[in-house]
Amino acid sequence: GGKSSNAKLVLLGDAGTGKSSIVLRFVKNQFIDFQESTIGAAFFSQTLTVDDASVKFDIWDTAGQERYHSLAPMYYRGAAAAIVAYDITNQASFDRAKKWVQELQAHGSSGTVVALAGNKADLIDSRKVSAEEARRYAQDNGLLFMETSAKLATNVSEMFSQIAKRLIEA
Ligand code: GTP
Ligand code: MG
């Protein structure tokens, strides 16, 4: 049989970018139009098999509202992986995502695999952040990058698979 491992994964990013929706899509393959804003953080776990190895993700879905910022280190400390989400229709959320990446680089664990997720990719007519700009930023900072849509299930499982692959290779 293949290897199996546990990986702590944290989602970070502005309120309303779709962190909880990404997790709900990944864990239950569901989407809620009126997803409630997270209070504190929520925990989920989901196992993913890539090739013949399995990774059990212990997922911390953090609250993006600023008043919860001081809790974040509890969740990203020791994390094997982090997903930093922004909303492609919201430039401020992309700026905030960069701040999260800086905070992870300064205070996170050195080996954390970081993925940048440009979510709400279905809202193409309201786009404010170009995929090219985000891809370049991700490349310059050694991040995985995907545009995702929790609503349409675009690139959500793919993103977790890529993270799992990176973790298995490590
Ligand atoms: P906090 O918990 O406050 O930090 O927010 P969050 O990042 O968890 O965002 P949440 O998942 O609650 O989503 C916010 C809103 O965006 C909800 O109304 C979702 O239905 C909507 N939403 C999330 N993902 C998508 C998406 O991919 N496309 C579209 N069109 N809407 C989305
Ligand atoms: Mg949430």
Distance CA 162, CA 36 (A): 28
Mutate to test the pocket of ligand 1, among 30, 35, 120, 156 (most ligand atoms within 8 A of CB): 35
Q: Under a CB-based contact definition with an 8 Å cutoff, are residues 64 and 11 in contact? A: no
What per-residue confidence (pLDDT) applies to 1? 54
Between residues 52 and 135, which one has the greater pLDDT? 135
Query: How many whole angstroms from its chain centre is CA 147?
Result: 11
Report the Cα 6 to chain-centroid distance in Å: 17
ipTM of the complex: 0.99
Record the tokens describing residue 120, joined without a space. Answer: 């709400």
* pTM recorded for the entire structure: 0.98
Distance between CA atoms of 42 and 52, rounded to whole angstroms?
29
CA of 103 to the centre of ligand 1 (A): 23
The whole-number average pLDDT for the span 136-144 is: 98
CA distance 130 to 151: 20
Which helix (H) or strand (E) segment holds residue 89: the answer is: none
